[in-house]
Structure 1
Amino acid sequence: MLRSRLIHPQINAVLAAAGHHSTILIADGNYPALNKRGPNAELVSLNLMPGLVTCDQILQAVLSAVPVERIQTMQTETEGPYALDGDPPVWEDYRKSIRDAGLDLQIEPIEKWDFYKAVETPDHVLTIQSGDQQRYANILLSIGVRMD
C-alpha cells in the first residue's frame, strides 16, 4: 500500500519512471489535452464531469508523491472574452496547496502560447486532464530532485 496521497496506478507508474526536469501538466477541462502535449507524454483523463476532479485536488495528490522544483501557469489575458482583472481565484488555492506541501515555490505565469510550447517538449511525461471549469487552472510542474 502506498503512503502518499496519490493512489492512481497509471499516474504513479509514470511518476516512478520520470526524473529530474520531467514535466507534468495538470490540465483544466477546457485544455486541448489530446493535441497539446509532448511527444513522450501519457494522457490520463480524470474529467468525470464538469467540476470533478479539480486541478487543485490533483495538485495536492501529485505534490504528495514527487519533489517539485518549478510551477508554471498560463498567464491570464487582459482583453477579450477570457480576460480577468488580477489572478484567477484558483491560483490562491494552488498557493495554499503548495504551502501545505511544505514547498517554498512561487507560481510563474507565462504567456499562453509560450505555455503550450513549454508543454510540448520531450520532457513532458504526463498530462492529467481534470474536469475543472475554472479559467486559467492549467498548471505545469517540473520534477525536482529527491534529497532524502
Structure 2
Amino acid sequence: MRRSGLLHAELNRLIAAMGHTDTLVIADVGLPVPPGVPCIDLAVLPGIPSFAQVFGAIHAELAVEAVTFASEIHQHNPALVRLSDQLKSEGTTVDETSHESFKQRCAQARAVVRTGETAPYANVILHAGVTF
C-alpha cells in the first residue's frame, strides 16, 4: 500500500506505463469516450470527484510536457482558463483546439479518466513528458 499520493491502483499502473508523448485525458462527466479507448470512471455523483481534484492528483504523479484544452474554455470555463495560464507560467506547453477536434484527438489517448465534473468543457489532454 502506498503511504501517500495517488492511491488508485489502475491510475498508478497507467501512469507508470506511459511513455514520452503518450496522452491521457481527464474528462468531465459528459465527454464521450471513443470506442476502444479505456475509461477509468471515477464519477460518483455530479461534481464528485471534481476535475480540479483529479487533475491535481494525476499532475502530481505524471511528467507532463504539454496539455491541450478546448478553445471554448475562454467563453465557458474561467477556472480552466486560470489553470491554462498557471501551466504556461510553469513552462508547460499549452495547446488549444476546437471542442470537436478535441473529441477526435481523444481517440489516440491511452485512457480517459472520467470525473464527476459538470462544469462545461472541463477536459484536458495531458501529453507525457520525460523525467530526464
Q: TM-score range by the shorter chain?
A: 0.7 to 0.9
1:28 to partner: Cα distance: 0.4
> How many Å separate the matches in 2 of 1:4 and 1:117?
35
Give the TM-score taking structure 1 as reference length: 0.77
Aligned position for 2:10: 10
Pick the aligned partner of 2:92 from 105, 110, 115: 105
Over the aligned positions, Cα root-mean-square deviation in angstroms equals 2.4
1:90 positional shift: 2.3
Deviations 1:52-96 (A, max 9, x none): 1111111111111110011111121xxxxxxx7646122145247
User: After TM superposition, which residue ranges in structure 1, 4 or more long, deviate above 6 angstroms?
Assistant: none
Instruction: Call closer, same or farther: CA 1:87–1:9 in 2, change over 3 Å.
Output: same
Q: 2:102 aligns with which of 98, 115, 123?
A: 115
Query: Aligned partners of 2:74 and 2:23: how far apart in 1?
Result: 29
1:145 paired residue number? 130
Distance 1:85 1:64 in 2: 25
- Native 8 Å contact 2:65 2:93 kept in 1: no
For the pair shown, the structure with the greater C-alpha radius of gyration is: 1
Residue type of the alignment partner of 2:107: E
Structure 1 residue runs without a partner (length 5+): 77-83
Do the aligned partners of 1:4 and 1:65 also contact (CA within 8 Å) in 2? Answer: no
| 1:1-148 correspondence runs (5 A) | 1-2=1-2, 5-33=5-33, 36=34, 39=36, 41-76=37-72, 86=75, 88-92=77-81, 94-95=83-84, 98=87, 103-121=90-108, 124-147=109-132
TM-score (norm 2): 0.85
- Conserved? CA contact 2:47–2:117, under 8 Å: yes
Whole-Å separation in 1 of the counterparts to 2:85 and 2:9:
26
Q: CA deviation at 1:6?
A: 1.4
Tell me which protein shows more helix as a share of its residues: 2
Q: Which runs of 5+ in 2 are unaligned?
A: none
